[in-house]
């Protein structure tokens, strides 16, 4: 403990204060050395084969100023091109990027010009720079044109980093955006930035120890640079990137002929000490507290330049913030929460599996885990084994054991094929899943995907198996694209190592997209229609060629307006028939011939025809904030009572930045269902959330999160008779499905000192409140609370000291 504390105090002494905007910052111009004038690479002229120079023993101070002599020897990248929302146009604001490398690290220097006073920059927490101006560097270190290490900085040098893969970008999301990058992964690197009167400069140093790359003395990498300018809402890329081509990574440039790169011994040790104290009411004994301490740690070993071994013992995830409260739009679906825990997110791209067959949040509280990730020529490999705590098992005494293997092989430039195997064993109980998948891209804009998996589950009910099959075909294009799919999940399919929110269905989907682009300087930049239709059967109904249970059609009309405004308007209609099997355990009352009431099986109402309208609006990211509003209004099938209800839904989020150090992020989710037959309120759900952050420096910040969840659902009634509905238990007894209401609140604060990933001091406290009895906020009672202190330090073997004056990290 003393060693950890001493190391942290030494790190604190070396941490610089945050940068401030100078009254008039001097312009730093580095003239290219005439001897290396040929090292200028214009993106618009498609000079995309870059040969960065190897510079030995160069002295660099990472302060955000490109004033050292070595920058004049660097390769210079110029002439960016717009990508989103319109591609193919010259950059509106000029950008120059200088790159070179030493034996142990890669160096990047950026000079970005902008109109005076228009740069968006805050002293933000790591990875929270999406609403600022930023520069992102993409290294495709295996040159497979499929995924890339991403290192991004805002004008103050605040970092965001992660792994970008072609699967990361969902429909309607810009493939150049940081939202298309898995930012849950953190790497150790250094950066610094300076605001200037007419733009900004940044310096970056990426150690070769922090990334994986192919074996061999000579290295050829894929390389791309993206710039986000919030003033205009445009994203520019150095290597010209066309929206008509399906893959983003395949259009990147290249770093050629790099040699002399020394990764050295890659060994990271992160010992961790965590102390907890928690309290909860204990009946007549009043409030009881308990405390405990825990020692654990993580290990990372770079066995080779392309393979990494990670291990953990008693991992602590206390720094991960509370999940954002969600309102389910359909009670038949399980809610999904993303993985945020550090051990599992590192190298998680190696476990990407279709249909979410790998979902590491199923490993709840591991006692220990080990994983191996890497790539041999054309083959990605990920292997994970973990032993979970006994309390997570069904009997509370047996430790669940997880084993997960994912292998994927590259085919050609963009196609791939792979398989996944998962196993969860809990004493005599087990669940095993094996799946295969392939993605074939051709003619630049077309692709075909085939996926299949089978599960085998054994428990006290016996052994059962299930299958899933999915087929997809699509076309991407600048102005027109489409996608069609067929998905089939049998009722018995089950994965206890993955996430499948629904089974027992067959679904077909068809999407059509038309995109138009505005003229340069006009009031709109992009306009898009997105038509979608789907039909869903029960698994048995499809095999018997029955009618679909659900038919849905919609037309999304989206607009990107000048300056970064975004709006969409989506009308949709659906026809839904309720599956009687879902209500086999529900009963209702019917009058008998003698005038008495008798309990009988509940018969769902007939097919419902509904329609709704959805609106969304995104403001630009102004200097002091931005906001997003989405709203929905219309009739919906109500699946609890099998009737039609009027649904009103709204979500409003605002990100306010009163200063460069203070950030207020608010979110309100509201949903209300009103019975169409009599106008009575069926359910109301409200989730407000406020996150307040103050960044004292790039390493030190304080955070307070306050969240309230109010949920009120009326007692269920038979829509035909308005008599109560009952639930039948396994022993044959009936109970009414009464009104359910809850009012829960939670407040969590955290003070964090995090100079680099792995080295942290966390001091946190959280308290849960419950006012469900009265539904009055001021009468809430404390339900539980807890505090923790965590210390950890990253010991990295063979790290040279980096000279720094300014806010490096």
Please, which contacts does 672-677 make with residues 24 or more away whose CB atoms are closer than 8 Å?
672/647, 672/648, 673/636, 673/638, 673/645, 673/646, 673/647, 674/645, 674/646, 674/648, 675/638, 675/641, 675/643, 675/645, 675/719, 676/635, 676/643, 676/644, 676/645, 676/646, 677/643, 677/644, 677/719
Residue at 462 is within a domain: yes
Q: Is the pLDDT of residue 806 over 50?
A: no
Specify whether 60 is located in the same domain as 177.
Answer: yes
**Residue where a domain terminates, one of 500, 522, 553:** 500
**Residue where a domain terminates, one of 258, 286, 314:** 258
Specify whether 161 is located in the same domain as 74.
Answer: yes
Q: What was the pLDDT predicted at 413?
A: 79
Q: What is the per-residue pLDDT across 644-701, written as a single tens digit (0 to 9) for each?
A: 999 999 999 999 999 989 999 999 999 999 999 999 999 999 999 999 999 999 999 9
> Dihedral of CA 495/500/506/507: which sign?
negative
Q: What is the per-residue pLDDT across 203-223, written as a single tens digit (0 to 9) for each?
A: 999 999 999 999 888 999 999
Residue 758 pLDDT level (bands cut at 50, 70, 90): confident
Give the whole-number percent of the chain exceeding pLDDT 90.
67
**Mean pLDDT score, 615-641:** 94
Give the whole-number percent of the chain exceeding pLDDT 70.
90
Written as six digits, the tokens of 613 are: 């309208």
Specify whether 240 is located in the same domain as 361.
Answer: no
Query: Are 709 and 742 spatial neighbours (Cβ–Cβ below 8 Å)?
Result: yes
**Least-confidence region, from 109-118, 716-725, 795-804:** 795-804
Cα 619 off chain centre by:
22
Q: What was the pLDDT predicted at 58?
A: 81
Specify whether 206 is located in the same domain as 344.
Answer: no
Q: Is the pLDDT of residue 736 over 90?
A: yes
Specify whether 241 is located in the same domain as 385.
Answer: no
Residue 318 pLDDT level (bands cut at 50, 70, 90): low
Residue 41 main-chain phi, psi, to 5 deg? -120, 110
**Residue where a domain terminates, one of 240, 258, 276:** 258
**Mean pLDDT score, 98-102:** 96
Residue at 353 is within a domain: yes
SS3 (DSSP) at 731: coil
Specify whether 364 is located in the same domain as 251.
Answer: no
Q: Which residues pair with 381 in a beta bridge?
A: 374, 407
Specify whether 482 is located in the same domain as 345.
Answer: yes
All residues at 6 or more sequence positions from 742 whose CB lies less than 8 Å from its CB, including other chains:
709, 710, 711, 712, 770, 772
**Mean pLDDT score, 67-86:** 94
Q: Is the pLDDT of residue 328 over 70?
A: no
**Mean pLDDT score, 738-748:** 94
Residue at 400 is within a domain: yes
Q: What was the pLDDT predicted at 799?
A: 61
Residue at 304 is within a domain: no
Q: Which residues pair with 147 in a beta bridge?
A: 165
Q: What was the pLDDT predicted at 771?
A: 94
Specify whether 230 is located in the same domain as 358.
Answer: no
Domain that holds residue 143: 33-258
> Dihedral of CA 779/784/785/790: which sign?
negative
* More confident call, 625 vs 331: 625
Q: Rounded to an integer, what distance in angstroms lies between the CA atom of residue 741 and that of residue 710?
A: 8
Written as six digits, the tokens of 195 are: 């605001």
Q: Is the pLDDT of residue 579 over 60?
A: yes
- Nearest Cα neighbor of 129 from 159, 101, 108 is 159
Specify whether 398 is located in the same domain as 494.
Answer: yes
**How far is residue 804 from each of residues 15, 63, 108, 151, 159, measured CA to CA in Å?**
10, 6, 15, 19, 16
Computed over every residue of the chain, the mean pLDDT equals 88
Give the burial class of 25: count Cβ atoms within 10 A of its Cβ; 0-12 exposed, 13-18 middle, 19 or more buried. middle
Q: What was the pLDDT predicted at 464?
A: 95
Q: What is the per-residue pLDDT across 405-433, written as a single tens digit (0 to 9) for each?
A: 999 999 987 899 999 999 999 999 999 99
Specify whether 210 is located in the same domain as 79.
Answer: yes
**How far is residue 621 from each of residues 153, 232, 518, measured CA to CA in Å?**
17, 9, 21
Q: What is the per-residue pLDDT across 27-71, written as a single tens digit (0 to 9) for each?
A: 444 444 555 556 899 999 999 999 999 998 888 899 999 999 999
Residue at 44 is within a domain: yes
Q: What is the per-residue pLDDT across 512-547, written as a single tens digit (0 to 9) for each?
A: 999 999 998 899 999 999 999 999 999 999 999 999
**Mean pLDDT score, 609-619:** 97
Q: What was the pLDDT predicted at 167?
A: 66
How many domains does the chain divide into?
2
Residue at 420 is within a domain: yes
**Least-confidence region, from 15-29, 507-521, 615-629, 763-777:** 15-29
Q: Is the pLDDT of residue 15 over 50?
A: no
SS3 (DSSP) at 326: coil
Residue at 476 is within a domain: yes
- Nearest Cα neighbor of 612 from 627, 642, 634, 632 is 634
Q: Which residues pair with 462 in a beta bridge?
A: 459
Residue at 128 is within a domain: yes
- Nearest Cα neighbor of 589 from 736, 733, 730, 740 is 736
Q: Is the pLDDT of residue 807 over 50?
A: no
Residue 45 CB coordination number (10 Å): 11
Q: What was the pLDDT predicted at 219?
A: 94
Q: What is the per-residue pLDDT across 104-151, written as a single tens digit (0 to 9) for each?
A: 999 999 999 999 999 999 998 899 899 999 999 999 999 998 889 999
Q: Rounded to an integer, what distance in angstroms lies between the CA atom of residue 52 and that of residue 73?
A: 9
- Nearest Cα neighbor of 344 from 319, 322, 325, 317 is 317
Q: What was the pLDDT predicted at 170?
A: 53
Residue 287 pLDDT level (bands cut at 50, 70, 90): confident
SS3 (DSSP) at 354: helix
Q: Which CATH number fits the domain that encloses residue 96?
A: 2.60.40.1190
């Amino acid at each position: 403990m003393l060693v950890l504390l001493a190391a942290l105090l030494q790190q604190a002494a070396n941490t610089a204060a945050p940068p401030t905007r100078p009254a008039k910052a001097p312009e730093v111009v580095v003239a290219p050395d005439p001897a290396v004038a040929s090292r200028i690479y214009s993106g618009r002229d498609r000079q995309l084969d870059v040969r960065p120079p190897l510079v030995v023993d160069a002295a660099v101070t990472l302060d955000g100023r490109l004033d050292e002599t070595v920058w004049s020897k660097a390769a210079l990248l110029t002439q960016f091109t717009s990508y989103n929302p319109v591609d193919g146009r010259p950059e509106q604001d000029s950008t120059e990027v200088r790159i070179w490398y030493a034996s142990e690290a890669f160096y990047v220097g950026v000079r970005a010009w902008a109109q005076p006073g228009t740069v968006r920059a805050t002293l933000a927490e790591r990875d929270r720079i999406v609403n600022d101006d930023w520069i992102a560097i993409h290294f495709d270190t295996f040159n497979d044109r499929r995924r890339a290490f991403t290192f991004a900085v805002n004008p103050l040098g605040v970092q965001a980093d992660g792994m970008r893969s072609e699967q990361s970008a969902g429909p309607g999301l810009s493939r150049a955006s940081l939202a298309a990058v898995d930012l849950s992964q953190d790497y150790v690197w250094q950066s610094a930035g300076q605001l200037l009167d007419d733009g900004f400069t940044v310096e970056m140093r990426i150690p070769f120890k922090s990334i994986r790359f192919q074996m061999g003395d000579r290295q050829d990498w894929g390389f791309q640079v993206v710039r986000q300018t919030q003033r205009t809402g445009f994203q520019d890329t150095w290597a010209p990137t066309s929206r008509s081509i399906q893959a983003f990574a395949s259009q990147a440039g290249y770093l050629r002929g790099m040699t002399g790169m020394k990764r050295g011994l890659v060994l990271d040790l992160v010992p961790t000490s965590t102390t907890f104290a928690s309290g909860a009411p204990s009946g007549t004994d009043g409030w009881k507290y308990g405390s405990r301490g825990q020692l654990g740690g993580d290990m990372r070993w770079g066995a080779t330049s392309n393979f990494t071994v990670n291990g953990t013992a008693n991992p602590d995830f206390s720094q991960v913030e509370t999940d954002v409260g969600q309102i389910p739009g359909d009670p038949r679906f399980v809610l999904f929460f993303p993985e945020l825990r550090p051990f599992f997110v590192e190298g998680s791209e190696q476990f990407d599996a279709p249909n979410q067959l790998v979902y590491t949040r199923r490993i709840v509280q591991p006692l220990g885990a080990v994983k191996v990730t890497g790539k041999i020529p054309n083959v990605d490999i990920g292997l994970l084994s973990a032993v979970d705590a006994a309390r997570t098992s069904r009997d509370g005494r047996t430790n669940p054991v997880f084993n997960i293997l994912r292998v994927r092989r590259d085919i050609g430039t963009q196609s791939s094929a792979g398989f996944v195997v998962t196993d969860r064993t809990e004493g005599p109980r087990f669940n095993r899943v094996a799946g295969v998948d392939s993605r074939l891209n051709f003619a630049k804009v077309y692709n075909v995907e085939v996926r299949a998996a089978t599960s085998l589950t054994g428990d006290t009910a016996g052994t059962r198996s299930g299958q899933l099959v999915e087929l997809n075909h699509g076309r991407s294009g600048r102005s027109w694209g489409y996608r069609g799919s067929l998905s089939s999940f049998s009722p018995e399919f089950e994965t206890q190592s993955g996430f499948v929110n629904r089974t027992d269905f067959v679904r077909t989907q068809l999407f059509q997209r038309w995109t138009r682009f505005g003229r340069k300087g006009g009031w709109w930049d992009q306009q898009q229609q997105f038509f979608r239709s789907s039909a869903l059967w029960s698994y048995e109904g499809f095999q018997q060629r029955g009618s679909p249970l659900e038919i849905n059609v919609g037309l999304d009309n989206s607009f990107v307006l000048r300056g970064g405004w975004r709006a969409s308007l989506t009308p949709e209609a659906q026809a839904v028939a309720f599956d009687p099997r879902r209500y086999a355990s529900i009963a209702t009352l019917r009058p008998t011939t003698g005038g008495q009431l008798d309990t009988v099986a509940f018969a769902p109402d007939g097919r419902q025809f509904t329609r709704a309208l959805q609106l969304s609006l995104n403001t630009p990211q102004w200097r002091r904030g931005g906001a997003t509003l989405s709203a929905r209004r219309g009739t919906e099938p109500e699946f609890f009572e099998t009737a039609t209800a009027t649904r009103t839904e709204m979500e409003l989020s605002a990100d306010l930045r009163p200063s460069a150090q203070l950030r207020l992020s608010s979110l309100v989710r509201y949903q209300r269902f009103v019975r169409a037959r009599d106008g009575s309120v069926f359910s109301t759900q409200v989730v407000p959330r406020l996150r307040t952050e103050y960044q004292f420096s790039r390493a030190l910040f304080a955070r307070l999160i306050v969240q309230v969840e109010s949920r009120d659902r009326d007692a269920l009634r038979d829509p035909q008779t308005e008599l109560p509905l009952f639930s039948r238990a396994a022993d044959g007894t009936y109970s009414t499905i009464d009104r359910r209401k809850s009012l829960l609140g939670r407040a969590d604060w955290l003070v964090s000192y995090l100079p680099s990933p792995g080295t942290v001091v966390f001091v946190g406290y959280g308290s849960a409140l419950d006012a469900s009895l009265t539904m009055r906020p001021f009468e809430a009672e404390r339900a539980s609370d807890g505090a923790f202190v965590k210390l950890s330090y990253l010991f990295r073997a063979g790290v040279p000291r980096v000279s720094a004056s300014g806010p490096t990290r």
